[in-house]
Amino acid sequence: MIEKEKIGEICQKAVDKYGHQSQIDMAIEEMAELADALMKFRRGRVTEMDVATEIADVFIMAYQMSLIFGREDVVSEVERKLLRLQDRMNK
């Protein structure tokens, strides 16, 4: 398994190499591919592994987006939203 620090390093290198605009475009493309895979899964046209592959791509691109748009802000928002979800689940 790749260490958390190494993930950040790899993603930062991709952002540095390809640039913000290119990686933003790639994130949009990967999210569309996930949406497509989910729709196909509902119709029985792809496997869970196909969906897992697209989820992995979106996770990687989401990490890169957090580097571009502010990692600390994203982490803060994730925590805030998880706490809100936890409250909803406890009601």
| Structural domain total, the chain | 1
In what helix (H) or strand (E) does residue 18 lie, and over which residues does it extend? helix 4-18
User: Would you say 29 and 70 are in contact if contact means Cβ atoms under 8 Å apart?
Assistant: no
Distance CA 51, CA 39 (A): 10
Residues composing the chain = 91
Please give the structure tokens belonging to residue 17: 């190499």
- What is the model's pLDDT at position 4? 84
Tell me the whole-structure pTM to 2 decimals: 0.93
DSSP state of 44: T
How many CA atoms within 13 Å lie on the side-chain side of 13? 6
Q: Which domain holds residue 73?
A: 4-90
- What is the model's pLDDT at position 52? 98
CATH code for the domain of 67: 1.10.287
Question: Residue holding tokens 């592959």?
Answer: 53
Per-residue pLDDT of the chain (91 residues; tens, 9 = 90+): 899 889 999 999 999 999 999 999 999 999 999 999 999 999 999 999 999 999 999 999 999 999 999 999 999 999 999 999 999 999 9
